[in-house]
Each structure stands twice: as C-alpha cells, then as structure tokens.
Amino acid sequence: MSAPPGIISDVRAYLDSRGGLRTLVLLHSAVTCLSLIEVATFQLSIDFNPRRLWIAVIVAIGFSTVSLLFVSARFCFGYFVGFYFYTMILGFLWIDVFSDYDYPRLLAGVSAALALVLFLIPMLYIRTPLRQFAPMSNARFEHLLTLILLLSIATIAVASTYNFRLVSIANIYDYRDTLDFPGALRYLIGWVSSALLPFAFAGYWLLGHRWRAGLVLVLLLLFYPITLTKFAFFTPAWLIALVVLSRLLEARASVIASIFVPMLLGLLVIWVTEASLRSIPGRYFDIVNIRMMATASGALQLYNDFFANHPLTWFCQISVLKPLMHCPYAEPLAVVMQNTYDFGNVNASLFATEGIASVGPWLAPLTALAAGFVLALGNRASAGLPPRFVLMSSGILPHILLNVPLSVAILTHGTAILFLLWYVMPRSLFEREP
C-alpha cells in the first residue's frame, strides 16, 4: 500500500526546507561517526577505543557546525563536491582521536579542519557566471552528444583489444596489476568514463531521449571488463540513483541523501545481520561504508603518519613537474604507501597529496584554498544550467576527487573537459523540461 500523495509531498517539502536540510546534515554526521565505529571492527588501519569516545564525540559535534554551511548555501557544483569532502574530513577527525599511529594528531586534526573550511569558501560562494563568447546552438549540442557516443564506442573497441575479461568483483585484483594501456588510451578511458559519458547521459535523459541514455549506461558498464575496477561496475547504478534522487528531492537534499541513505542502509544492515564482509550484507557495507567513505578518511591518517617522518614532495609527484625537480620518491605515492603499510594502493584526495604529502600540515590549508579556487571554476562554468543537469553530469567526480589528487582528477579524469562542456552549452537547452 503506497503512501498518500499528500504525505509524500509534505515530506519532500520538509526535506527541501532549511529545517529539513539541517536535520539531514546533522543526522548524516551522526551516521558517519557510528559507521566508523563499525568499520573499526573490520579495518586494521582504523581504531576505536571506548575510553576516548567522549573526546571523539566533542570533536565531531564541534566540527559538525561546519555542515550548517550546506543549509544556507545554494546548490552548485562546489556544493556537491564540498559535502563529500566534509564527510571525509569529519571521518578523519573521528579516526584521528583513536589513532595509534605516530604523528602529531592535534596538529593534523586542526590542519584538516581548517583546510576544509578554506576549501569550502570558494567552492560554495564563488558562482559568478563566466561570460560565454561562443555558446553552442541547441542543434550543435545534440551533435556533440552523438560525437561523444562515437568517441566512446571507438575508445571501448580499442581498449578491449588490450584487455577484456569477464570476472567477478572478488577476482579483479588477480588481473588488474597486469593491465597496460598506452598513455593516450589511458587518458581517453579516463575522460570518457568519468566525464564525457556522464555528461551525455545527463543530456539525453533531460532531453527525453531515454533509449540513448540507456545506451550510455551500457557503454559505461563495458568499461568494467576493460579496467576491472569497482568504480566502473557501479557507475551506471550510481547515475540511476542520482536520477531518482534528483526527481524526488531538490538538488541540495539530493546531494546529502546520496551519501546519507547508502551509509545508513549499510549501518543498519551490519547491525541487524552481524554479518562478515564475505556475506552479501557485509559486501554492501564494505563497498559503501568502508570503500566509498572510510577509506578516503583513513588515507589521511596514513599520509599524516608517513610524512611526519619522511621528506615532503613539494609537488614533485605531479607527472609534469617530476622531470623538472628532484623527487625523493621514484614510485607513485599510492605505491609508496602500499609498500610501507601493506594495505594495497593507498590512493588519496588532494587533502592528502597536494596537501599533507606536498607541503605538510602547516601549509596544507593553503593548498586546499587554492584547490577550492580551481574547482570553483566549475561553479562559474555551469552557472545558468539546471541544478539537476549539473548534479547528474558531474555525478562521478566527487568520488574521483575523494580518491585521487586534484591534478589527476583535472587532467586524467576529464574534470577540465567537463568544465569546458558546461561553459559552451546553450543555457536555453532544457527550457522544455518540466
């Protein structure tokens, strides 16, 4: 028996209001911390000590006041990315209280909190539109979507000649280290799967071309047997989830619910079933609560610990800078972390790489501020576009930014290309959308 339409509309109106958003963000903060208590029972790198719980609660309550910025700010690309980074930093501050690693925990926590605040200032409040010098016509935009489809099909066809294996998610690590694509093809794979196809999906869906939108999802799924990543496997389902959320809720509530609801379900599942990570409920908890969020927060702990006792990089890990300067590390930082901590490749966000690894905790807030100004270009490039389109077309980028350096997200995963596409799009394109 379905709920009466009046009740549904009342719930939706409440969640879209300031009071509803405030409730959502505060509940989300609580769920994030409760989730990490459970994560500590499965993850060796994340600790929990009941004797320190009162300290963690005070830190979490104090820092959760930052989340109130998302109640007053308007939706934009920076809002989407910023809320995911808020969740990551809240998680790190919780982990930091219980950490047994040998690094200055108070300095690391204060640095991370300040870095997030400075990061959010441009991300939430710089929204001035860029002047369009050569906007595309509506007809040319649809031709552009067709071109993206053709480029994607060609990329998949070429990439599949290097690797195409239908294996279960549990077995992807047996083959992934053997993958070797040419440099140009690696860039194409990143651009197409992370930026171009989500952009085309959002365009086709909101223009009412459902079959073409479905084709885009099929093409995205084909990147799984090519790249053997969980990210590629779950991307189509994630975009569908954003379609549903953005249909039911206003854009800001959709952003918050996109993390809150999956994490809450994972927490409830693990509480009710008391399952191991090998069971189906446990695998859901592993993918969502551990891999999607806790791992990004935990990476900050490892980077703080490592670079408290090793030389900083001063950005030498960035590929275009490495040949021009001395670098104390010959291998990528993710591999350095793997060799040191034996937790697998520890990929990490700009807060860990361009922040802690490059300049240390004292200067990391300044690099976060600079990164905020760079990513705020997305706000300006997408100004005037429907919030639902911005949310759907950039739906993959928050997850990418949580797990790779900013330079990699901008260049390898096509963030800069998406900004350019937003900039040239005709603003009247979706006027016929209800």
Helix (H, G, I), strand (E, B) or coil at 282: helix
Please report whether residue 66 resides in a domain: yes
Nearest to 276 by CA among 3, 4, 2, 42: 42
Residue from 15, 137, 2 nearest 71 by CA: 15
**Hey, how many other C-beta atoms are within 10 angstroms of the C-beta on 392?**
24
Residue 156 pLDDT greater than 60, yes or no: yes
Q: Which of 142, 145, 143 is nearest to 215 (CA)?
A: 145
Instruction: Specify if 156 maps to a domain.
Output: no
Backbone angles phi, psi at 49, to 5 degrees: -130, 110
Instruction: Give residue-wise pLDDT tens across range 109-139.
Output: 999 999 999 999 999 999 999 888 877 888 8
Highest mean pLDDT range out of 10-19, 50-59, 128-137, 336-345?
50-59
Tell me, yes or no, whether 386 lies in a domain: yes
pLDDT at 299: 92
Question: Does residue 167 belong to any structural domain of this protein?
Answer: no
What does the pLDDT look like over 274-290, one tens digit per residue?
767 677 777 888 888 88
Q: Identify whether 226 is part of a domain.
A: no
Residue 68 has pLDDT above 60, yes or no: yes
Question: Domain tally for the chain?
Answer: 1
Q: Which of these ranges, 48-52, 177-181, 372-376, has the smallest mean pLDDT?
A: 177-181
One-letter amino acid for residue 265 of the chain: L
**Euclidean distance between CA atoms 282 and 288, whole angstroms:** 10
Residues in the chain: 434
Q: What is the pLDDT of residue 433?
A: 46
Flag whether 165 is in a domain.
no
Task: Say yes or no to pLDDT of 3 above 60.
Answer: no
Predicted pLDDT at 412: 92
Q: Is residue 430 part of a domain?
A: no
- Output the pLDDT for position 175: 76
- For 387-433, the pLDDT digits (tens) are 999 999 999 999 999 999 999 999 999 999 999 999 999 988 876 54
Phi, psi of 432 (to 5 degrees): -85, -5
Q: If you search the block for the tokens 């649809």, which residue do you land on?
A: 142
Question: What percent of the chain stands above pLDDT 70?
Answer: 96
- Report angle CA 64, 68, 70 to the nearest 5 degrees: 115
Nearest Cα to Cα of residue 45 among 77, 91, 104, 113? 91
pLDDT mean over 216-243: 92
pLDDT at position 22 over 70 = yes
Lowest mean pLDDT among 157-166, 177-186, 205-214, 301-310: 177-186
State the chain's mean pLDDT as an integer. 90
- Residue numbers of the domain that contains 362: 5-132+243-424
Q: Is the residue at 229 inside a domain?
A: no
